[in-house]
Amino acid sequence: MAEFNNIGLVGRPGHAGVVDTLRRLLDFLSGKDLTVFVDDLTAVLVSGHGQKQCQRAELSKFCDLVIVVGGDGSMLNVAKFVASDQVPVIGINRGRLGFLTDILPDELEEGITAVLDGSYSVDSRFLLEVVVRANSSKNSEDHHLGSALNDVVLHPGKAAQIIKFELFVDGIFVYSLDSDGLIVATPTGSTAYALSAGGPIMHPGLNAVVLVPMYPHSLGNRPIVVDGDSEIRIVVSSQETLEPQVSCDGQVLYAASAGDELIVRKKDVPLKLIHPPKHTFYQACRSKLGWGSRLVRDDD
């Protein structure tokens, strides 16, 4: 197991419990032979614990482990900065569901001690990257929009509006569709927006991507699971009058025009997500989704 000496801390601003947890975590880490960094946004929340400061985008230059205090949204934000440099992350859950942030605030000392002692497991979670191939009348070159740990979403950006597009997988035409949009989700993102839209729960170890239509105008258009190495191409209809928006993990990055093509592929380098001892995906589902616990039996 890796030895961690330089620890980065990231906290979610605007959450009442995050500051308390950050201070408790800083007090705990100050008694160890470690160098602690906080990003510029987190530094506003805490001070006076001897930590160093850097830009969030520079965390991976200085740290060999990043601890995120917040919810899954905080983890998604950090992932895009550290994944390419293979810096592992672990989360202390101050959000709601927290599929990516495993450690409870009251158990942070126990959980972080186990990790620092080498008792942990590592998941490799792949990300998606999306480029836009603009309508040739504007610009024929591909333009990189961003990366997503959860999902890339094409949506109208306005309530109760229908958009028209075509879907191709590995160059093969799949369907044309009138709908509120399309969610392209990783297994990590299958328990997020895609699940709310009726998509399946996918084990994070799968090399697969799910394509989930949003309120399609056809009962036959259902979520499709495809190989994770597929190239997903979405072509905005040439008759489209709206400017559908493209989001990566909930952040709007682009307003598409009629004829634009969106190319979604797996990113080369995955995120290394650390879990404390005894963590399992199924235990997380029981906890976060309210699945039933094991039945009590006489021989248990």
Nearest to 101 by CA among 62, 131, 141, 72: 72
Exposure string of 21-54, with b = 16+ CB inside 10 Å and e = fewer, is bbbbbbeebeeeeeebbbbeebbebbeeeebeeb
- For residue 172, with 0-12 CB atoms within 10 Å meaning exposed, 13-18 middle and 19 or more buried, which class applies? exposed
Neighbours of 141 (CB within 10 A): 10
Decide if 260 is catalytic.
Answer: no
Q: In whole angstroms, give the CA distance from residue 246 to residue 156.
A: 9
DSSP H or E run through 29: helix 16-30
Q: Please write down the HEC assignment for all residues of 159-195.
A: CCCCEEEEEEECCEEEEEEEECEEEEECCHHHHCHHH
The residue from 39, 72, 180, 260 that is catalytic is: 72
Active-site residue list: 72
